[in-house]
Amino acid sequence: MFIAEVEEKLVEMHNDEASDLSEGYHFLKGGAANLGFSDLQKICSDAETHGDRAELDEVQTVFAQSKELFLSKTQ
């Protein structure tokens, strides 16, 4: 469920549908912390501070890497 929610939030943020990028990064950071995605948590924490679009591509890349690693461990 977390993965689907993150993917949806990233699409919203990428398409400028998120009203506040800092809020989006905060949401992603919390979910990442709950699942132990430490790299994603850190980058979202940094991005939350700035609240701008500059980090969004990197957040998406780190999420994709974290997701791939997570799924490989669950199969």
pLDDT in tens, 2-45: 889 999 999 989 887 656 888 999 999 998 998 889 999 999 99
Amino acid at 26: H
Model confidence pLDDT, tens digit, residues 52-75: 888 899 999 999 999 998 889 877
Measured CA to CA, the distance from residue 28 to residue 10 in angstroms comes to 9
Percentage with pLDDT > 70 across the chain: 96
Axis crossing angle, helix 21-35 with helix 38-50, rounded to the nearest 10 = 160
How far apart CA 75 and CA 63 sit, in angstroms, is 18
Scanning the structure block, which residue is given the tokens 């701008």? 52
- Please work out, in degrees rounded to the nearest 5, the angle formed at the alpha carbon of residue 45 by the alpha carbons of 40 and 46: 105
